[in-house]
Amino acid sequence: MRKKYLLAPGPVQAPPEVLAELAKPLIHHRTEQFENIFFQTQSLLKELFMTKLPVITFAASGTGAMEAAVVNFHSEADEVLVIRGGKFGERWGNISEAYKLKVHYIDIKWGSGIKPEEIEKYLNINKNIKSVMIQYVETSTAAMYDIENIAKVVTKTNTLLIVDAISALGVVPLPADDWKIDVIVGGSQKSLMLPPGLSFLWCSQKALSVSEKSNLPKFYFNIKKELKALEKKTTAWTPAISLIGALNTSLTMMKSYGWENLFKKNKKLMTAIHNGLKALNIELFSSSPAVSVTAGAVPQNVDGVKLVKDMKDIHAVTIAGGQDELKGKIFRVGTLGYVDSSDIIVFFAALEACLKSQNYKFNLGAGLSAAEKVLYSEENNA
């Protein structure tokens, strides 16, 4: 018997209330009962996206909604601009290339941010670009991009701004309407405290009118069919009934916690991790750090792969390592969703034990104590 801690940047821990919902007997989806639940999730999703416009729900992992964003807002041989600073930026490119779009890339150093002016300059020179595809949080490097100001430069053009906010929604504010973003993609297994299996797509009026003319092939991921079904409080195809019920529960929990309180809590957890790592002389990998996930740079003479493995095998704390070129070089800890101060304490206690076992030099308890100062200070508990 082992108590496990899932502190990866997705999938995440699900609260007991959500798990209990998933265990309920199935109801039929073409019923008033289901339609009422689905309608409730719709109004909660609108709060999450801070919008008056509808949010589409697909029975697919996050990548499904990313594909939907590619096929609904583009036409054959369209030129698009992908901001590529990690695995998920790469994914925008891979999907676009699969549909034979002409993909331009701005490659940024993994872990760094991008200046809005750089995108502005690129769009000024390349007038044919139909959309800019970017992440809000590039989960693979723990970098966060300045979407608010990027939106300001993209709205000045006819280009659409398409944001993969899968690991940012519910972690940091994302006012879809106010920031004038065109397409936002979300997923269930990050801050929404659910298992994988649902993804979300929101789009602006401007994007909707572009979608009218889109001629890329699509069937399941057809937003026109989904928007029509939404008017009847349902989905076009069989919805993931249990997950929708669980979504209703998780969003209701988030709302009653308070969206602002949630954003504040996430920031506090992030700061505790930052300060704790600093006290251990571990640098942040990203120069533009995200709130949802923190990447620590593995110190010299420490085996990063073993560190992540020991955390799990010895202490039952699951964090993530680096992917591809970052394998062994970083470790990533998520502060998404159902995570609180006690999880951060467990994380640092386990991390310190693993570092000690690799003979890394530091004062035992230094990270823990620095994190505690943030977690339990009066001003942070307001």
Ligand X SMILES: *Cc1c(COP(=O)(O)O)cnc(C)c1O
Residue ranges binding ligand X (CB under 6 A): 10, 61-63, 88, 135, 137, 139, 164, 166-167, 187, 190, 196
Q: Which of 52, 51, 49, 45 is nearest to 244 (CA)?
A: 45
Measured from each CB, the residue nearest to ligand X is 62
Residue with Cβ nearer ligand X (166 or 279): 166
CB of 11 to ligand X, least distance (A): 9
Residue with Cβ nearer ligand X (172 or 280): 172
In which residue are the tokens 């801690």 written? Answer: 5
Residue with Cβ nearer ligand X (194 or 307): 194
CB of 199 to ligand X, least distance (A): 7
Rounded to whole angstroms, the Cα distance separating 32 from 50 reads 26
CB of 186 to ligand X, least distance (A): 9
CB of 188 to ligand X, least distance (A): 8
Rounded to whole angstroms, the Cα distance separating 316 from 118 reads 43
CB of 166 to ligand X, least distance (A): 4
CB of 196 to ligand X, least distance (A): 6
Q: Dump the DSSP string for 197-218.
A: --EEEEE-HHHHHHHHT--S--
Residue with Cβ nearer ligand X (90 or 118): 90
Q: Which of 207, 97, 211 is nearest to 163 (CA)?
A: 207
Residue with Cβ nearer ligand X (66 or 81): 66
Tokens at 172, concatenated: 């940091």
Are 176 and 208 a contacting pair, CB within 8 Å? no
- Collapsing DSSP states into helix, strand and coil, what is residue 341? helix
**E strand or H helix at 249, and its extent?**
helix 241-257
Residue with Cβ nearer ligand X (10 or 239): 10
In which residue are the tokens 């930052």 written? Answer: 274
| Cα-to-chain-centroid distance, residue 245 | 21
